Amino acid sequence: MKKTLLAVSLLFALALTAGAQSNPLLLNAAGATFPYPIYSKWFDVYHTQKSGVQINYQSIGSGGGIRQLVAGTVDFGASDGPMSDEQLAQAKFKILHFPTVLGADVPTYNIPGVSGELNFTQKALAGIYLGTITKWNDPEIAKTNPGVSLPNSDIVVVHRSDGSGTTYIWTDFLSKASDDWKNKVGKGTSVNWPVGLGGKGNEGVAGLVKQTPGSIGYVELIYAIQNNMPYGKVQNAAGKFVKADLAGVTAAASGAAKEMPEDFRVSITNAPGATAYPVSSFTWLLIPAQIQDAAKRDAIKGFLKWMLKEGQDYNEGLSYAKLPKPVVEKELKAISQIQ
């Protein structure tokens, strides 16, 4: 009789385990396309290691992620631009920012007959997106690209059509690079573009640039690499032309890491330093400070701890820079704010 009861107990326990594995706790999230390649990798690896937790992420843009989080239709959001004071005030609950990786926006282009690496001054990029520089052989572009046969053809500007943290990073940089841009357009996840065609997501902008001769667009570094698209060097605050890479992004973050604000909302575009890549940024997960569902709360906190430790080892393989150690240490302490 005891053996029978033991066997039944074991079968019941196995059934419960199998049920937990076949019906994992589902967390829904949405937001930025900028970090989607690394988030996709993380969520897949984490589910493999922690089969009881599955994270469903919709890559819909930072603006969409913020809206869904505020509306309460997702468990957490993601954005490449920190939420503004106004956006935080509009939410009916406290939202915490957790930096996840460092990445870069790059200017990618499709110029027939030009396959090399172009140099872009800050003035040139601002002028192109303002619509005041309209030809590829404009003197502002030609002067920093000696020996390159630039065509006398129209520049087709491509930008994001959706609310986008990638746009926030790009326009944040342009606002620092150009007073005209700052005063006429400004920065944001969505802006009133003076010129250009809109593409949805980093994928949409990359696709439009690839199929449109004479075009230029901005995408997250990994999208240019994965699509084998040329991208140029950008003049930084020290006047140097720097091509986006992990070292340049890390250099841009070095100053901010030492003076990171308590809420982690910080801009590192156009950072000082000869080696700093100027269109760099942290990207953030947006987490409610109060989570009523204890199982979801523990699962989110568990993932954040994993992301800040083991997860960082996957960054560089997908062209994202690791978070500086002082930032990681500060975030690990901040996880306790999630109640």
Q: Which residues pair with 283 in a beta bridge?
A: 101
For residue 17, name the pLDDT band (cuts at 50, 70, 90): very low
In a domain, 80, yes or no: yes
Strands 76-79, 280-288: pairing kind: antiparallel
CA 42 to chain centre: 14
Q: pLDDT per residue over 52-104, tens digit each?
A: 999 999 999 888 999 999 999 999 999 988 999 999 999 989 999 999 999 89
What is the pLDDT of the chain when averaged over all its residues?
91
CB 93 within 8 A of CB 291: no
| Residue 278 DSSP SS3 | coil
Choosing from 235, 254, 273, the residue where a domain stops is: 254
Q: Are residues 71 and 33 in the same domain?
A: yes
Q: Are residues 194 and 126 in the same domain?
A: yes
Q: pLDDT per residue over 165-195, tens digit each?
A: 889 999 999 999 999 999 999 999 889 999 9
Residue type at position 294: A
- In this prediction, residues 111-123 reach a mean pLDDT of 94
In a domain, 2, yes or no: no
Q: Are residues 218 and 243 in the same domain?
A: yes
Q: DSSP for 144-210?
A: TSTT----S-B-EEEEESS--HHHHHHHHHHHHH-HHHHHHT--SSS---SS-EEESHHHHHHHHHH
pLDDT at 110: 97
- In this prediction, residues 161-166 reach a mean pLDDT of 86
Cα torsion 107, 30, 70, 257: sign: negative
In a domain, 231, yes or no: yes
Q: Are residues 117 and 249 in the same domain?
A: yes
Go through 38-64 and write b for each residue having 16 or more CB atoms within 10 A of its CB, e for each that does not: bbebbbeebeeebeebbbebbbbbbbb
- In this prediction, residues 307-327 reach a mean pLDDT of 94
Q: Report the number of distinct structural domains present in the chain.
A: 2
In a domain, 200, yes or no: yes
Q: Are residues 93 and 122 in the same domain?
A: no
pLDDT at 223: 87
Q: Are residues 64 and 135 in the same domain?
A: no
Q: Are residues 115 and 98 in the same domain?
A: no
- In this prediction, residues 217-231 reach a mean pLDDT of 91
For residue 259, name the pLDDT band (cuts at 50, 70, 90): confident
Q: Cα dist. 270→17, 176, 235, 316, 339 in Å?
A: 52, 7, 9, 22, 36
Q: Are residues 169 and 289 in the same domain?
A: no
pLDDT at 22: 62
Q: What is the CATH number of the domain that holds 201?
A: 3.40.190.10
pLDDT at 69: 96
With a pLDDT cut of 70, the percent of the chain lying above it is 94
Q: Cα dist. 303→53, 100, 208, 307 in Å?
A: 9, 11, 35, 6
Choosing from 217, 238, 254, the residue where a domain stops is: 254
Q: Are residues 30 and 129 in the same domain?
A: no
In a domain, 61, yes or no: yes
Choosing from 207, 237, 254, the residue where a domain stops is: 254
Residue type at position 279: V
Q: Are residues 88 and 218 in the same domain?
A: no
Q: Are residues 122 and 248 in the same domain?
A: yes
Domain range for 318 is 20-103+281-337
Q: Are residues 161 and 91 in the same domain?
A: no
Secondary structure element (H or E) that encloses residue 242, with its range: strand 241-242
